[in-house]
Amino acid sequence: MGQLVGIVVTLASLAVTSGVAYSPEGLQRRLDKAKRPTSWQKRLDKALLDVDKNPQQRIRLLQKVAGDGKKIVSDVRVAAAEVQEKGIGKGHPLLLDLLFPDGTTARSDLEGLVALRKQLPELTKGLAPPTVEQLRAAAPAAPIDPTRVARALADLAGDERKQRELLQEAKNALRSTPKGLETPKYRVLRSWRAGPGALDGVVELRSYPPFTVARKGMGGAGFGAGFGAVEGGGAGFNALASYLFGDNADGAAMAMTTPVGIDVSGGGAASSMSFVLPRDAARAPPRPNADGGVALDEVPARIVAVKAFAGVVTDGEVRRQRDALEAAIEADGGTAPVEAGAFSVLQYNAPYAIPWRRRNELAIVVSEVVAEEEAASAGEAAAGDAEVAPADEAAGEREGREGVSSWYDTGVRL
């Protein structure tokens, strides 16, 4: 990240910013080009920040970037002129959109670092030093056997599969979306800006088919107490992880999945934590233990408005993201929440992932308002036609039933 910003700053210092002129149409063309996969911005970002690129790929990408030297200087000059003319406060949106467009790791890192400025004080504010009892409970029951450690290291040195898995885990600490973990499939119907600011993010309207989860209740104190308390968050996670890894009535172990979900009902009356079950186990999932408090739940097909955010999940951040998503849904006008006040927080990363790369999402189940209004208009028109031609009434009813089968299917066939 620092390398990429340093290169751009160096180019900006070399660019002559006086007398730069550009039309709105020309500026929009620049912004459109910056979003292309073959733009110098995307290539430079991949060469320096993509953990999956090997040295040969990075060299090839940098060679292609070097061939776009004139474009780079021109784009940096335009961005620098904008900041020089309007100041960093009003000029930074163009600088970010032109030099660090949406979809680049650099843009995500900037958004995450900005978010951490508020999240970290909120996180540390609620921390308390562990008690003696907690330290004793966390201590291993028996001393570590150095022979077992040496044997495990020897096995790792001779097992290429384990080495690949360990490398994958290490890279996952640097990825926003970890690889090697199953996640529910979805289709993006459309997207729109979550707000006017350059770092306000994007809202995605997603269509999810049904999937199965293991769920554990977290009490009725809403998101803050349910998620933040050890009894709700930590205990819920441990119970679900134990079920997934074989502590169930059938003794069947399953692979870890993503995301971990926290679902809050309207008004915060109740909350629960859920793990997605792997698809190969969802048809006949292992039975939970009777005393574990874990239940199986099939999540129906639905349409969800989702806003991603980086950093750590705090009560304050959840409130900010929820307010932003609700405002974006209202401003868009094409959808409306199915249950007022209900929302979910989805977390995709392991605890050891670097904070500004973590992928979190605030999700609200919605129905499509436009489609419902069109259906209502069609129904009124059909009713009007029925007064003139009663013979068409049955056909109109049959057509209406075939067009919409449930609340999540209004206007979108899954």
**What DSSP string describes 179-198?**
SS-B----EEEEEEESSSST
The single-letter DSSP state of residue 301 is: P
Predicted pLDDT of residue 396: 37
Give residue-wise pLDDT tens across range 118-155: 999 988 886 777 777 766 666 655 667 777 767 777 77
Smallest CA-to-CA distance from 206 within 268, 277, 259, 136 is with 259
Predicted pLDDT of residue 414: 27
Predicted pLDDT of residue 394: 36
Predicted pLDDT of residue 347: 95
Predicted pLDDT of residue 10: 54
Counting residues of the chain whose pLDDT is more than 90, the rounded percentage is: 51
**Fold exhibited by the domain 187-370:** Multidrug-efflux Transporter 1 Regulator Bmrr; Chain A (3.20.80)
Predicted pLDDT of residue 133: 73
The single-letter DSSP state of residue 231 is: I
Residues in the chain: 414
Predicted pLDDT of residue 397: 36
Check: CB of residue 296 under 8 Å from CB of residue 285.
Answer: yes
- Residue 214 sits at φ, ψ, to 5 deg, of -95, 130
Tell me the whole-structure pTM to 2 decimals.
0.76
The C-alpha atoms of residue 245 and residue 12 are separated, in whole angstroms, by: 53
Looking at the predicted structure, is the pLDDT value of residue 409 above 70?
no
CA dihedral of 242, 245, 250, 251, whole degrees rounded to 10:
-100
Residue 332: band (very low, low, confident or very high) from pLDDT cuts 50, 70, 90: very high
Check: CB of residue 245 under 8 Å from CB of residue 254.
Answer: yes
Predicted pLDDT of residue 21: 60
Taking phi over 0 as left and psi of -120 to 50 as alpha, with beta for the rest, 255 belongs to beta
Predicted pLDDT of residue 39: 96
**Any residues with CB less than 8 A from the CB of 153 and at least 6 apart, and which?**
none
In the chain, where the domains are located: 2-101, 132-172, 187-370
Smallest CA-to-CA distance from 11 within 55, 63, 69 is with 69
